[in-house]
Amino acid sequence: MTDFDARRRQMVKSQIAARGVRSKHVLAAMRRVPRERFVSAGQATYAYDDSPLPIGAGQTISQPYIVALMAEGLELEGGEKVLEIGTGSGYAAAVLGEIAGEVYTIERIGELAERAASILKELGYDNVHVQQGDGTKGWPEQAPFDGIVVTAGGPQVPETLKHQLATGGRLVIPVGRSKSFQELVRVRRLSADDFEMDDLGAVRFVPLVGEEGWSSEFESYRADSPFGL
């Protein structure tokens, strides 16, 4: 066992399981994915700290607990088709790839999409497919999805993403009208036109930029207003 292996196991025990994440699939995936490979060489020593880290282009790799919380929110049992909006480093996509049958992930920033795709390929995640583009439009050619996870905060739940869910599918997304505050919500599709939503807690993410998100990374700095479906 390498030092990183030991630190990874300790991370899962003290940062994730201790905070209430119970999904055996998520815990096992977090024990397997080498987070140190998804950060810069100079940041590798901090890979298992209880905090986000910069990955360039003004973006971050999320705190490990948040990755686990969002993955658990999808209620995956194995073999599903999942869409991720906001590939970033590729770490969360790898975690999802350990559980789901196929993962489709979209990144707005070209340099991040290219780097994530390269690392995922090196690590053998052949079931994770990376595309550059506007994630708020989803990936209609591959819809419907059993789960959709959005790793950036939007002003509301994008209608396009809701309608790319399979019936019974779950969408996990941070929603809020402020830079400093969002609620992590889970939307479940009950039928063609019926959805229900529950609240998974307060979070803070970078802005979701796109046609059904913020028009710029600065627009989201405006005052709070109610979110909703």
DSSP H helical ranges for the chain? 3-11, 24-32, 64-73, 91-97, 110-122, 159-162
Pairing of strands 81-85, 145-150: parallel
Q: Is there a cis peptide before residue 144, judged by omega within 30 degrees of 0?
A: yes
The set of long-range contacts for 54-58, using a CB threshold of 8 Å and a minimum separation of 24, is: 55/88, 55/89, 55/112, 56/111, 56/112, 57/109, 57/111, 57/112, 58/206, 58/217
Contacts of 193 (CB under 8 A, 6+ apart): none
Is residue 89 annotated as part of the catalytic site, yes or no?
Answer: no
Query: Using only C-alpha atoms, what is the Rg of the chain?
Result: 16
**Catalytic pick among 62, 118, 180, 191:** 62
Residues in the chain, overall count: 229
Contacts of 94 (CB under 8 A, 6+ apart): 33, 38, 120, 123, 125, 128
The catalytic site residues sit at 62
